[in-house]
Structure 1
């Protein structure tokens, strides 16, 4: 380990472990892993999905048969080694089939967001020179057909569910399978436009030999391209080869340090994101997981109850929603004694966890009470379908420390991690030794260092190969020794990484001070009423913030304080709510140094949905677009007097630098 952690940090024994991981995964590819699962565990369950209100499942043998048949169909169409396929679908069994079939033939499957408009589809399909496009339903098909004439490399378009209505773009139409598990229907029958192929028709082809074709792709061949969300311009195509994704699987399995054969994972986030792609496809075949597909995120809560997972990832808002759901369930109980016990279990667990996470000691009385209430916390977890959970990952947005403590108090090993598409997902994660405010320690075999300017660099076997057809940006991101620049500012303390924000997003105030908006937003987002927030202040004497209320928390707070409302949006203009937001921002300021303190705020009336003017599909802020869209509100905010109470000088001095 390097002694000076302000300039570099390397994992103890990382070179040895990195070499050991390389040896462990030598020669493996995603198709060889699929063939191994089909050969060694043919009758074990591989994939679950819901159809007509009933759960269906494929064994590994049945899944492999689907892949072999689809690969036969694609080969008949002339698709082969080196070809690329663009996929637009929700998590569903057909995604697994087409992704694996393309890989089996030595091709490269590339998922993009279903929300992509026609022009974005055209750009991405042209950029990766896709010869095949597979879409879920008619709505997505229309976008492809609108630009097909501008795509000279595109030879074939396939639609999974051609039904005119119902399920085409929401993933609700997985069809039936015959007794042998070799006929995947696409939903209700429907005609398709000329030049478009139906999924069902392709599956009439003769299958290829799965075992024989698994050797087609090599470890250095492309496994996928993940397109970045494009917060600052044109998306970059992150090329990942088989060696990188399998290396990441082995590293993650070592960090979890347990046999995950048959462990359940719920896929409900977009398959275009590296997190879903890693768990649902690569870790699925590497560790032998059972993938539970959930095409509609609104159904996740019921899916958890029907198919309790062992591994689960969700953004803070979803974890908050589940806590609110628990409290509402307890509040509606007819048994006061039971309700009191369950409420007490939540409070005691959270209090003890918060003490432990902040380095404090749990008093003996509290420790005894927590132990006595273990059965109650187990009941609460089971109520949500989280009774079997091994890890509960929280990400995509800053997490309120109390939220994390609440779940750890319920017995869920909650953690925040950090990673990039360029690292095939996770670089740091530590679910069983989490420290509040950190994103964990480096994964096994991963090397990290902090450059003199504060930027975090990494080196690992999971690193991307290059940006597709973009040597200039590749050279700017990776140095000659293989260190990858993340663009994120960080510190490392006792091996734990703490993020400070994006290097390119630094705000320079009128006083010439550099401020990371992400660090300030993290503090603000931890406040009860703050749901979404964007901090601004370039050229201003002090920072300001655009705030979106947390709808659930705001509704509860208004009810407790006797504030009537018809819709939660109305609360954004209520003086009493605004005063409370100001008080909460002032409390957040207590945790910030002088130049980071927010003096002004403006509350907006509407939430920022994913893949909008304000947010990318992965919940990152589109800062330039926010600044342009809310130009009038921002100008008025900075022109008005400060509306956040300034700390007394004596107190502020203790927190300033």
Structure 2
């Protein structure tokens, strides 16, 4: 094990120090690719460091000092990395802002963090900051730095400056002084502030140190054999998301590897095929979308071919399940057949998904149906689940080869201590636990119990592997006193390609029900094949045939549960759940309280109550 890897595992480094290391060791090696007008533009490690140095010097000229905070609003682009590491190199911290956040959410975070500079990717993000300044003042904000000036020719606000101009201000910066300042940084200094997605209450800013980030990320890399310049990833989630920050910023700096910036989350499937990364993190919606894309593609064939494919996949999934269910193992003939299918038949499906070069794939950020992961394992693409929180620097528990049981989330990372509380709540302690919430000592104190971080998740453990049952606050207790974990039923419902989202209800009621959102693309394609007429999302959900289709999916899911936990009634939502409408967080998690309030009439109808 190299000294660098040992230092990473102990957290004895900072992110800017790692940038210095790789830029000096391999200045001409590729660091980034960014797609511009259909062409992948290459950026070397030497250029990366140069731009960070220039931008840091430009920030100093604008008055940015150690201890200050810089915010960034926009999708993942190289300029995000430059601004992030530049702020850290000056002893400051970086605050991520979701590009989909309305100006009110953006304003709250800018005010709460007292950010002095905000870097905006484009005109849209700049306009939101200007709206926030007009309505809320933002007295601490000194500068708005805009990356893409398109559409802003006539903007003449005194606080607006363009990214390229800040870089030019830093040209000729003293590299010796710059590097001396970086080497003086401490691993225990805050590196970033990540605001929780706020499913309940106002978001809180979690302070994560360099040590927190490096220990958590390097634990994943080491467990899967990535201890050198051996990985290449695709950055497609917003970099304010702690999981994307871990994979695309921290792991990248740990390994000296390559980050490819996708054009957008909508183009990630095409970008994957062009890049063929060697490591990939997919949130549940991405894995579900990839699965549906593959299945839809397969169903475009002749009926006999569809019949063969359906049975081949079903056979592969049965035997893939045996590989990861404790106490089971496929027989010798089945193992040989599965190997042959993966080698010959499913190889093209892995290539179609763009994941044929992956040494390891991961799923994190939210719970996912085990059946989705089983589908990819059957194809010869094992996906390792990661469990963590913003407060654990993204990863606290991980699946590793040999510890990847069906429905589990794996074992604690080496530095993490884990235990279950009296009520089954998962509790954690270790050097990658965050430094506290920004300017919120009471909230920080409430996050711990006797020195252990409380997760809010109910878990179980079997043979050292952990399994998340559900969120503690989401557990349903029916009027009959039965405890039900809604996530298990929700996952089962969403295994149907026709169901995009499921919100299970029943707390304090005498039976379980659900609000269901159809997958528009899949159901629309089915309706067209049935020659059914519709014009909008709402008219599609109103079709009796669609209601019958979803009823079949509900019955199929119900068959796996005891009578008391089955969905007795359901309502189809007439629109897609949306972040802008307050129904989803920026990380696409359902805001259950908001849903309950917004759809009170539909819920009352289910239970025969008055709204």
Whole-Å Cα distance in 1 between the matches of residues 359 and 483 of structure 2? Answer: 40
Match of 2:147 in 1: 160
Whole-Å Cα distance in 1 between the matches of residues 371 and 491 of structure 2? Answer: 13
Q: CA deviation at 1:514?
A: 4.0
Distance 1:326 1:534, change over 3 A: closer
**Secondary structure at 2:260 match in 1:** strand
Match of 2:457 in 1: 488
> Quick one: which of 260, 264, 276 aligns to 1:292?
260
Match of 1:174 in 2: none
Whole-Å Cα distance in 2 between the matches of residues 485 and 22 of structure 1? Answer: 28
Q: Summarize the alignment of residues 206-221 of structure 1 with structure 2, pairs less than 5 Å apart.
A: 206-209=172-175, 210-221=178-189
Match of 1:233 in 2: 201
Match of 2:407 in 1: 437
Q: CA deviation at 1:593?
A: 4.3
Whole-Å Cα distance in 2 between the matches of residues 565 and 635 of structure 1? Answer: 28
**Secondary structure at 1:78 match in 2:** coil
Q: Summarize the alignment of residues 400-479 of structure 1 with structure 2, pairs less than 5 Å apart.
A: 400-433=369-402, 434-479=404-449
Q: Is the 8 A contact 1:106 1:216 kept in 2?
A: no
1:310 and 2:310 equivalent?
A: no
Q: Is the 8 A contact 2:102 2:580 kept in 1?
A: no
> Quick one: which of 251, 254, 258 aligns to 1:283?
251
Q: CA deviation at 1:99?
A: 0.4
Q: Deviations over 1:472-522 (max 9, x none)?
A: 111111234x31000111111111211121112333332344433333323
**Secondary structure at 2:396 match in 1:** strand
Distance 1:342 1:633, change over 3 A: closer
1:354 and 2:321 equivalent?
A: yes
Distance 1:591 1:260, change over 3 A: farther
**Secondary structure at 1:203 match in 2:** helix
Distance 1:246 1:324, change over 3 A: closer
Q: Is the 8 A contact 2:365 2:388 kept in 1?
A: no
Whole-Å Cα distance in 1 between the matches of residues 7 and 443 of structure 2? Answer: 27
Match of 1:193 in 2: 157
Whole-Å Cα distance in 1 between the matches of residues 351 and 492 of structure 2? Answer: 32
> Quick one: which of 37, 58, 77 aligns to 1:52?
37
Distance 1:377 1:341, change over 3 A: farther
Q: Summarize the alignment of residues 508-527 of structure 1 with structure 2, pairs less than 5 Å apart.
A: 508-527=477-496
Q: CA deviation at 1:151?
A: 1.8
- Which structure has more relative contact order (CA 8 Å, sep 6+)? It is 1
**Secondary structure at 1:28 match in 2:** coil
Q: CA deviation at 1:543?
A: 1.7
Whole-Å Cα distance in 2 between the matches of residues 586 and 236 of structure 1? Answer: 40
Q: CA deviation at 1:544?
A: 1.3
1:597 and 2:566 equivalent?
A: yes
Q: Summarize the alignment of residues 25-104 of structure 1 with structure 2, pairs less than 5 Å apart.
A: 25-104=10-89
Whole-Å Cα distance in 1 between the matches of residues 412 and 15 of structure 2? Answer: 24
Match of 2:476 in 1: 507
Name which of structure 1's ranges 234-243 and 287-296 shifts more when overlaid on structure 2: 287-296
Distance 1:213 1:375, change over 3 A: farther
Distance 1:406 1:516, change over 3 A: closer
Q: Deviations over 1:317-355 (max 9, x none)?
A: 433333343345455679x99999877764553342133
Distance 1:361 1:565, change over 3 A: farther
Q: Is the 8 A contact 1:163 1:190 kept in 2?
A: no
Q: Deviations over 1:607-633 (max 9, x none)?
A: 223454221111221111101111111
**Secondary structure at 1:252 match in 2:** helix
Whole-Å Cα distance in 2 between the matches of residues 578 and 299 of structure 1? Answer: 31
Q: Summarize the alignment of residues 480-629 of structure 1 with structure 2, pairs less than 5 Å apart.
A: 480=450, 482-555=451-524, 557-558=526-527, 565=534, 569-593=538-562, 595-610=564-579, 612-629=581-598
Q: Is the 8 A contact 2:243 2:365 kept in 1?
A: no
Q: Summarize the alignment of residues 257-276 of structure 1 with structure 2, pairs less than 5 Å apart.
A: 257-276=225-244
Q: CA deviation at 1:158?
A: 0.8
Distance 1:540 1:146, change over 3 A: same
> TM-score, normalised on structure 1?
0.84
Q: Is the 8 A contact 1:226 1:237 kept in 2?
A: yes
Q: CA deviation at 1:533?
A: 0.9
Distance 1:344 1:23, change over 3 A: closer
> Any stretches of 5+ residues in structure 2 without a counterpart?
none
Q: Is the 8 A contact 2:101 2:586 kept in 1?
A: no
Whole-Å Cα distance in 2 between the matches of residues 26 and 517 of structure 1? Answer: 38
Match of 1:248 in 2: 216
Whole-Å Cα distance in 1 between the matches of residues 397 and 165 of structure 2? Answer: 44
Q: Is the 8 A contact 1:394 1:416 kept in 2?
A: yes
Whole-Å Cα distance in 1 between the matches of residues 184 and 37 of structure 2? Answer: 38
